[in-house]
Amino acid sequence: MRAHRIAATAMAPRACAWRLCGAHVRLATAGWCGSAALGRHGVCCACPSVRRPADARAGRSNSLGPLPLWGRRTGPHTLSGVPVDCTDCHCVICQAVPDLDERTLASVGIIGRHGWQVVMVPADGQGPGWAYTIGLWHSHRISELAMFGLDIHVMQSILNDIGRRAVEGATVRAGQEWHDVASVPVVLTAVDYRWYKAFFGTAIGFYRRPPVPFLQVLWPDREGDFPGQPGGEDLLGRQPRLSLPPEEHPVGVWTQDL
């Protein structure tokens, strides 16, 4: 698995502790946790219903949506067909977890000062880079954001811009198209749980267990086509389609760490 660049540390996150009912064991098997977490009893973290906002000030619906999303405030909805809780946060800050590793401690410090951070994973010989936020859910109950395939500092700027607007009151949800955060339109799509382990390791170390909703920020080619649209097939080498279950995604650079 490719290293995540955050401050000057590169320590592996600790295992999280999902508590799942039998119907959601497959998510744990393919997602964050090892088999040791599957036999635990208790309330399933994936079962409570969620809500999403009705306001759509930040963008209009796109042909890629509407797509599933863990919502922010009102109206029942699901992610990948699984109802989830929309208000809980089980991160290391909320749970006052002691003895954190250096990477997680760095995240705690940045999030404490700024509300969220952007983790940047630079391109290397294995494939393109990506960037994602940590802390929007903890600080504001706003979905975390991820972006792939551009210069990591450009993606950092775009994610910070969307995050700032969301904190100021703009709705951020799957299916939206935004026209004023980059030189081209971008579209937000929900991320399937089963990609988290491959791409969001620092977020796993910080949050430990769900809910942690993620939205992918997709960008188009020169003709305006997005991955998953006719004409946008060549973009899959630059950015994955994380709204797809991993087993349905074309095999390539994005599936090598599954």
Instruction: Give the per-residue pLDDT at 213.
Output: 93
- Strand locations in the chain, DSSP E? 50-51, 60-61, 76-79, 82-83, 117-121, 130-134, 144-148, 176-178, 186-190, 214-218
Task: List the domain boundaries for the chain.
Answer: 22-255
In the structure encoding, which two tokens stand for residue 89, read together?
Answer: 């946060």
Q: Is 126 exposed, middle or buried (0-12, 13-18, 19+ CB in 10 A)?
A: exposed
CA distance 189 to 218: 7
Length of the chain: 258
For tokens 């699901």, name the residue: 78
DSSP 3-state of 152: helix
Least confident range from 45-54, 159-168, 184-193: namely 45-54
Least confident range from 80-89, 97-106, 133-142, 176-185: namely 80-89
CA distance 244 to 255: 12
Name the strand (E) or helix (H) holding 27. Answer: helix 25-30
- List pLDDT tens digits, range 111-151: 999 999 999 999 999 999 999 999 999 999 999 999 999 99
pTM, to two decimals = 0.72
- List pLDDT tens digits, range 66-86: 333 323 333 333 443 334 445
Task: List the one residue out of 154, 149, 126, 144 whose CA is nearest residue 3.
Answer: 126
CA distance 89 to 137: 7
